[in-house]
Amino acid sequence: MVYFDAASTEPLHPRAREAFLTTLEEGWADPARLYGSARRARLLLDRAREQVAEALGARPDEVSFTTSGTQAVHLGVLGAVRGRRRAGPRLVVSAVEHSSVLHAAEVHEGDGGEVETVGVSRTGVVDAEAFARAVTAPGTAAACLQTANHEVGTLQPVAEIGAVCREAGVPLVVDAAQTMGRMPIPEGWSVLAGSAHKWGGPAGVGVLVVRKGTRFRSPLPMDEREARVPGFQNVPAIAAAAAALQASMAEAEEQARLSALVDRIRETVPRVVPDVEVVGEPVARAPHIVTFSCLYVAGEALLTELDKAGFAVSSGSSCTASTLRPSHVLEAMGVLTHGNIRVSLPRGTREADVDRFLGALPGIVRRIREEAGVSS
């Protein structure tokens, strides 16, 4: 099986495995206690926090570990709006944010808040002028913007929006799940969220970073342990996440190699498959993601046939995953939602496997179209 679904989860980095096994031996005790084994666990946790802080351009005391990227986003969004309750009820989000952001926004609305959603271009870039207008409108508590879109890879103008937010005194919550470990973190965030299993760390570790000076009130009850996140920390998994983050940040040339393979897919697919639309920004994009939609083809049929041919990819079409609705990202962009395939390349993707995929795709699409009675 050729695995092309890194945007869902990246296979475990070898450095994460090493760190996990070592820390299972040495860091199992309760880091909040004061005997030798507990102090060792505390030391390993502190070291992981320093590694993550350094990789993200933050201070260690700004970094908290959550139990997932989704939890980091939920706490980040809700903590930011609750910390600014006196500023007003408004939360600004882009229309293509990850569902975790939109679900947190729904909770904010349910609590009496207001949510303003800013639209995107055909390639999925948020309308920066409209976003700036929304941020500077009176009563705005916080804004949320992703670094890169999880379905189409398009980069968002985070630094530009961050400057507007700083000027307006509005905290910007940045969901960096798709780029953390792959690209430098852009300037301009007040709250930053990420997910370890997307950069080659283990599942069950998210990162929430809250800049010093940001008003923040967690919606959760607190304890004496992790700042902003209650509960006993999973020190081995956190150490593994930190090791993988540090290792992948040092592998910029690997990301450049993946990006060149994405370019090859972007250029080749429209040449070898008729009636296909490659979506998202061609250049200003995450290095590992490419998405295209094939006219007259059901996304589910395409996934099934690609799986039979040995390729693991995902789709934003309805009737795939668990939803009967098409992807809100593709809808907001106004691009074809059916016949959609997202290819996202993990570290170490072999060029030959990309070429094999490009070789197999045209026949698969042609067969599905023929079965549906479409002559292309």
Partner 1 sequence: MSREQATGGEAPQAPALTIDALGKKCPIPIIWLAQQINNVPLNAVVAVLADDPAAYTDVPAWCRLKSHSHVGTYELPEGGWAIHVRRNY
Judged by the rule CB under 8 A, the positions of this chain that interact with partner 1 are 117, 275, 277, 295-298, 317-319, 324-326, 330-331, 334-339, 372-374
Q: Which is nearer to partner 1, 238 or 302 (CB)?
A: 302
Number of other CB atoms surrounding residue 257 within 10 Å: 17
Q: Which is nearer to partner 1, 157 or 339 (CB)?
A: 339
How far apart are CB 9 and partner 1 at their closest, in Å? 26
Q: Residue 212 carries which side chain, given as an amino acid letter?
A: K
**Sign for the pseudo-dihedral over CA of 194, 4, 374, 271:** positive
Number of other CB atoms surrounding residue 358 within 10 Å: 17
How far apart are CB 337 and partner 1 at their closest, in Å? 5
How far apart are CB 136 and partner 1 at their closest, in Å? 23
Of 83, 78, 82, the residue nearest 93 (C-alpha)? 78
How far apart are CB 270 and partner 1 at their closest, in Å? 11
Q: Give the pair of three-digit tokens for residue 324.
A: 């009967």
Phi, psi (rounded to 5 degrees) for 286:
-65, 150
How far apart are CB 286 and partner 1 at their closest, in Å? 23
What number of H helices and E strands is found in the chain? 11, 12
Q: Which residues contact 340 (CB under 8 A, 6 or more apart)?
A: 291, 292, 293, 294, 299, 315, 316, 317, 326, 327, 330
Phi, psi (rounded to 5 degrees) for 221:
-65, 150
How far apart are CB 294 and partner 1 at their closest, in Å? 9
Q: Which residues contact 287 (CB under 8 A, 6 or more apart)?
A: 182, 183, 255, 256, 258, 259, 262
- What dihedral do alpha carbons 348, 350, 351, 353 form, nearest 10°? -140
Q: Which is nearer to partner 1, 124 or 326 (CB)?
A: 326
Hey, which residues does 142 pair with through a beta bridge? Answer: 91
- With contact defined as beta carbons under 8 Å apart, do 294 and 273 qualify? yes
Q: Which is nearer to partner 1, 331 or 353 (CB)?
A: 331
Q: Which is nearer to partner 1, 118 or 177 (CB)?
A: 118
Give the whole-angstrom CA distance, residue 238 versus residue 1.
Answer: 29
- With contact defined as beta carbons under 8 Å apart, do 35 and 252 qualify? no
Q: Which DSSP helix (H) or strand (E) runs through 332? A: helix 328-333
Q: Which is nearer to partner 1, 245 or 361 (CB)?
A: 361
Q: Residue 76 carries which side chain, given as an amino acid letter?
A: G
Which of 144, 165, 294, 319 is an active site residue? 319
Q: Which is nearer to partner 1, 251 or 331 (CB)?
A: 331
Of 192, 205, 187, the residue nearest 144 (C-alpha)? 192
How far apart are CB 76 and partner 1 at their closest, in Å? 25
Q: Residue 319 catalytic?
A: yes
Q: Which residues form the catalytic set?
A: 319
